[in-house]
Amino acid sequence: MADISDLDMENVLQIDIVSDVVCPWCIVGFKQLEAAIAQTGVSAAVKWHPFELNPDMPDEGENLREHIMRKYGTSREQSQEARERLTEIGSGLGFDFRFTDDMRMVNTFKAHQLIHWAASEGKEHALKMALFEAYFQDRKDLNEDNILADVAEAVGLDRAEALKVLEDGRYADQVRQEESFWTQNGIHGVPAVIFERRHLVSGAQGIDNYAAIIRQLTQGEAA
């Protein structure tokens, strides 16, 4: 995504994305959106917003397959089929899902606090992408301070400061407030993509659908 500071904001499509870093359809949806932006040739600025799929998840987490089966009432076979489908879709978008039987669903509140801080350092998007990769490709525990700090350092953020952010919880209230804002405004599932702060599109819609939405918005405004 383009750096907002380098763009003429009057000619940039504003896109807000409410998502969680342990949500597979969130990275799928973003990759589809990214391809649609490239296909249409528009200038776009993406802003990420926090959403926790499992805000009550304990620190130790839960086996991912067992969690999905319990939460959505799916069978082991349905879970495997979903993983295979996601892996195939991800491959077509350049994202490598590496599911394993021992993957765990974890609490992501700390990760969202770190992303909030990264935004002030100009690294929000880079960290968000790195966290998706850390979870779905490297199967890292995104509720563990040292792992989060390692990911932050890998995208050019100060590791020691990242640890301080996580330890003192300085952004906890802001993240909670933002999460509450989106849920109070009807966002109960992710990804939720808001174009120009007024057009809500829910779920991963596919490259062609996103491209059609972008064309409709940009051509309509140019008319």
For residue range 40-86, list pLDDT tens digits in order. 999 999 999 999 999 999 999 999 999 999 999 999 999 999 999 99
**What pLDDT score was predicted for residue 1?**
44
The arithmetic mean of pLDDT across residues 115-131, rounded, is 98
Q: Please tell me the distance from the alpha carbon of residue 96 to that of residue 59, in angstroms, as a whole number.
A: 26
Q: What pLDDT score does 8 carry?
A: 47
Instruction: Find all residues with CB under 8 Å of 59, minimum gap 6, and list them.
Output: 107, 143
pTM comes to 0.93
Average pLDDT, the chain: 94
Domains of the chain (ranges; CATH) run 4-222 (3.40.30.10)
Which ranges constitute the DSSP H helices of 41-120? 64-72, 76-93, 109-120
Q: Quote the tokens at residue 85.
A: 């489908």
Give the tens place of pLDDT for each residue, 166-202. Answer: 999 999 999 999 999 999 999 999 999 999 999 999 9
- Rounded distance between C-alpha atoms, residue 220 and residue 223, angstroms: 5
Contact 20, 108 (CB under 8 A): yes
Q: Is the pLDDT at 126 greater than 80, yes or no? A: yes
DSSP 99: -
Distance CA 175, CA 7 (A): 27
CA distances from 205 to 34, 200, 201 (A): 12, 12, 8
Axis-axis angle for helices 159-168, 109-120 (nearest 10): 130
φ, ψ for residue 117 (rounded to 5)?
Answer: -65, -40
Q: How confident is the model at residue 9 (pLDDT cuts 50, 70, 90)?
A: low
Q: Are strands 13-19 and 44-50 parallel, antiparallel or unpaired?
A: parallel
